[in-house]
Amino acid sequence: MTPEDFTQVVSQCTHFLNDHYPRTVRQRLETIIESPHSELRRDAYGKGGFVNVLESEIAELMGKEAAVYMPSGTMAQQIALRIWSDRAQNKSVAFHPLCHLQIHEHMAYQELHHLEAVLLGEPDRLFTSEDLATVNHPLAALLIELPQREIGGSLPTWQELEAITQLAKSKGTKLHLDGARLWECGPYYERSYKEIVADFDSVYVSFYKVLSGLPGAALAGPADFIEEARIWMRRHGGNLHMASPGAVSAKLGLETYLPRIPLYVTKASEVAAILNRFSGVRVVPEQPKTNMMHVRFEASAEKVMDAVGQIAAREKCLLFGWARPENDGSRVELWIGDAGLDIPQERLESLFSELIRSLT
Amino acid sequence: MTPEDFTQVVSQCTHFLNDHYPRTVRQRLETIIESPHSELRRDAYGKGGFVNVLESEIAELMGKEAAVYMPSGTMAQQIALRIWSDRAQNKSVAFHPLCHLQIHEHMAYQELHHLEAVLLGEPDRLFTSEDLATVNHPLAALLIELPQREIGGSLPTWQELEAITQLAKSKGTKLHLDGARLWECGPYYERSYKEIVADFDSVYVSFYKVLSGLPGAALAGPADFIEEARIWMRRHGGNLHMASPGAVSAKLGLETYLPRIPLYVTKASEVAAILNRFSGVRVVPEQPKTNMMHVRFEASAEKVMDAVGQIAAREKCLLFGWARPENDGSRVELWIGDAGLDIPQERLESLFSELIRSLT
């Protein structure tokens, strides 16, 4: 199936296991226009209007003194690490080998901020307090990603998380949370977001993934840290002339999708239970901790996507949109949102049976 | 008049000399939704959808091989200078002392990119080819801002511009155009945009000022330069998950406002003619070159804005929204858009007479 044929097939689908239902640009903007928040006056370069309302709400939700709305997490996290590094007069920071900063940002932390990274642990597992203990020089900051996207949304136990954060604190290392998908952690930890992030000095959260907003992020932390972050945001070119539409969409995401996350997490667990029955398939992590999982197929990405395309063409149901080659097989990322909830288990069992059959 | 009272007065105004008519967030998004362009499918991180359509159109309009849509000019211009600097293996760049990079970006060109700037000429006048000739070391790039915003939208004559660009070329210096307000230059130079920017190696244009779009900019130049700029945009945190709404608004701006710029420029000239009649007032430049001007008052900013507020309260017409203190007096920035066109000359004469009377 050519990419054009695949796109054509997807456009005919009515059901989607991955993500929320697709929305056009027009539909996304209509949601914002129809919301009461868009009555509020606009901001000017992030000052006034709805942007500051959202920032206060995020600060409150995270239990931090202040927050700043930013265009992206790429910007927010470099800025957080740079500030902690400058304050410690130490360019050394630490994170997982598959951290967003290491694999998705063209090494901006080096190229723009001249930071040096210690990569903790191994790519296919979470790092541990033992890994941290092996670092024998001072670190300005430690970045922890909860959940760890590149290993299927894995999460450390609460005890292990506390062991890591306490060790970092004992060494005077600042803790920064990569909370790109923090919203999805609530059910696993059975704690409020404020409790989950309490040990972190700074926290980044995202608004366009499960919350389905326009591109946008927030960085929360101490008031003086956030003031400094605003200066760095301007330096990065992220202090935009008007941020209200994104801020309104973020607020709508918090209202609409955040309360449904427990439903998504339950469904993800049920989907994994089906997948775990097949041979030639491995779910990562085996028991999902959030609404996300990765799925390892022994078959090639091309073969998997061809089969997914055939099923989608016949059943008008898209299981997932892409697979990437990995070792001898392929890897798929799957996260449950509104759309996945609408596919009954029996149908999923039959669709996945069909998929696996066509791969063997 | 307190700031709150002033805001209240402005909210009651029906006429505005400066800018286009104010629009709420909702009204801005409605314009995008109602446009046929928002039918097009969305982009994913700037790929596909309407973003690439806009990029091609800008490249064509500027006569360059390629263009990239970016969140802001702050980002675009640092990136342009960084690339030229890296290629020349020379950290030295040159621009005017009141360049945006020097006064509005918290010295990001130093803090993020470690560039070193030669400031050409004096703050209150354009730099000349003679100023450039005094630089006796190689420059990686020269940034020219057309028109120069901080001196009221001043423009060099075509001959002087050519003298500068030819001298730079003869020294092997790359030419970057700060075209934040390039759209406004067409009538003065009586040339197409393609001709105006022909000597420049890279060009930045903005979409949210006279074009009234959502925040957004474009950088145009050689294809390999733009490919590199995309990598730097990602490093800056500017490769956003979805850029289509901004790109659609930019296209609408090109369709709606670009053809009206000659009207705005003519009106600006008429407004300046009125202002030039009063003593205690100086228009910069004395004869506006674009739809913009600065106005110097001998009275303090507070006194000027108080008088403007009183007039706005009585007449429902806002002359301008802010003045900043400067030396013994104050400075105001004024640019003509749709709203200013609707105020007849006789009314402006009477409003400005009243303003000047109340200042003396």
- The CATH number for B298's domain is 3.90.1150.10
Q: Residues of B numbered 96-155 whose beta carbons fall under 8 angstroms of chain A's beta carbons: which are they?
A: 105-108, 111-113
**pLDDT, tens digit, 9 for 90 and up, residues B96-140:** 999 999 999 999 999 999 999 999 999 999 999 999 999 999 999
Cβ(A81)–Cβ(A176) under 8 Å? yes
| pLDDT score recorded for residue B305 | 97
Cα(first)–Cα(last) distance of chain B, in Å? 18
Q: What is the 3-state secondary structure (H, E, C) of chain B?
A: CCHHHHHHHHHHCCEECCECCCCCHHHHHHHHHHCHHHHCCCCECCECHHHHHHHHHHHHHHCCCEEEEECCHHHHHHHHHHHHHHHHCCCEEEECCCCHHHHCCCCHHHHCCCCEEEECCCCCCCCCHHHHHCCCCCCCEEEEECCEHHHCCECCCHHHHHHHHHHHHHCCCEEEEEECCHHHHHHHHCCCHHHHCCCCCEEEEECCCCCCCCCCEEEEECHHHHHHHHHHHHHHCCCCCCCHHHHHHHHHHHHHCHHHHHHHHHHHHHHHHHHCCCCCEEEECCCCCCCEEEEEECCCHHHHHHHHHHHHHHHCEECCCCCEEECCEEEEEEEECHHHHCCCHHHHHHHHHHHHHHHC
Q: Which residues does chain A have with pLDDT short of 70?
A: none
Q: Which helix (H) or strand (E) holds A70?
A: strand A66-70
| pLDDT score recorded for residue B72 | 98
One domain, residues B311 and B208:
no
One domain, residues A183 and A328:
no
How far out from the chain centre does Cα A9 lie?
27
**SS3 call for A331:** strand
One domain, residues A50 and A163:
yes
Alpha-carbon gap, residue B188 to B154, rounded angstroms: 11
How far out from the chain centre does Cα B54 lie?
19
pTM tops 0.95: yes
One domain, residues A205 and A61:
yes
Interface test with B, best of A43, A235, A252 (most B CBs within 10 A): A235
Residue of chain B with shortest Cα separation from A77: B237
The residue whose two tokens read 């097949």 is: A278
One domain, residues A183 and A284:
no
Name the residue among A229, A302, A237 with its Cα closest to residue A80: A229
| pLDDT score recorded for residue A30 | 95
- Domain end (from A256, A277, A302): A256
Residue of chain A with shortest Cα separation from B230: A106
- B337: buried, middle or exposed (CB in 10 Å: 19+, 13-18, 0-12)? buried
**pLDDT, tens digit, 9 for 90 and up, residues B162-211:** 999 999 999 999 999 999 999 999 999 999 999 999 999 999 999 999 99
One domain, residues A52 and A183:
yes
* Contacts of residue B31, Cβ cutoff 8 Å, sequence gap at least 6: B23, B249, B252
**pLDDT, tens digit, 9 for 90 and up, residues B294-343:** 999 999 999 999 999 999 999 999 999 999 999 999 999 999 999 999 99
Chain B CB within 8 Å of residue A25 CB: yes
Chain A CB within 8 Å of residue B227 CB: no
Read off the CATH number of the domain in which B179 is found.
3.40.640.10
Contacts of residue B34 in chain A, CB cutoff 8 Å? none
Alpha-carbon gap, residue B150 to B145, rounded angstroms: 10
| pLDDT score recorded for residue A36 | 87
Residue A57's CB is within 10 A of a number of other CB atoms, namely 16
| pLDDT score recorded for residue A296 | 97
Our CA-based measurement puts residue B208 at a distance from the nearest CA of chain A, in whole angstroms, of 8
pLDDT category at B36 given cuts 50, 70, 90 is confident
Classify residue A128 as left (phi > 0), alpha (psi -120 to 50) or beta: beta
Contacts of residue B113 in chain A, CB cutoff 8 Å? 112
One domain, residues B191 and B300:
no
| pLDDT score recorded for residue A310 | 97
Residue type, A33: I
Residue of chain A with shortest Cα separation from B33: A26
pLDDT category at B360 given cuts 50, 70, 90 is confident
Our CA-based measurement puts residue B91 at a distance from the nearest CA of chain A, in whole angstroms, of 14
**pLDDT, tens digit, 9 for 90 and up, residues B222-238:** 999 999 999 999 999 99
One domain, residues A177 and A269:
no
- Domain end (from B221, B256, B291): B256
| pLDDT score recorded for residue B37 | 84
Interface test with A, best of B8, B26, B77 (most A CBs within 10 A): B26
Alpha-carbon gap, residue A287 to A273, rounded angstroms: 8
| pLDDT score recorded for residue B42 | 79
Q: Which of A28, A208, A237 sits opposite B71 (nearest CB)?
A: A237
Q: Which two tokens stand for residue B135?
A: 């630089």
| pLDDT score recorded for residue A48 | 83
Chain B CB within 8 Å of residue A255 CB: no
One domain, residues B163 and B304:
no
Contact A235 B32 (CB under 8 A): no
| Mean pLDDT calculated for residue range B5-22 | 96
**pLDDT, tens digit, 9 for 90 and up, residues A250-304:** 999 999 999 999 999 999 999 999 999 999 999 999 999 999 999 999 999 999 9
One domain, residues A219 and A295:
no
| pLDDT score recorded for residue A189 | 98
Chain B CB within 8 Å of residue A4 CB: no
| Mean pLDDT calculated for residue range B11-22 | 97
Residue of chain A with shortest Cα separation from B30: A33
Contact B105 A235 (CB under 8 A): yes
Contacts of residue A81 in chain B, CB cutoff 8 Å? none
Q: How many domains does chain A have?
A: 2
Domain that holds residue A308: 3-20+259-359
One domain, residues B153 and B245:
yes
| pLDDT score recorded for residue B130 | 98
Return the exposure string of B192-205: e unless at least 16 CB atoms fall within 10 Å of the residue's CB, then b: ebeebbebbbbbbb
One domain, residues B245 and B271:
no
Cβ(A89)–Cβ(B250) under 8 Å? no
- Domain end (from B231, B256, B281): B256
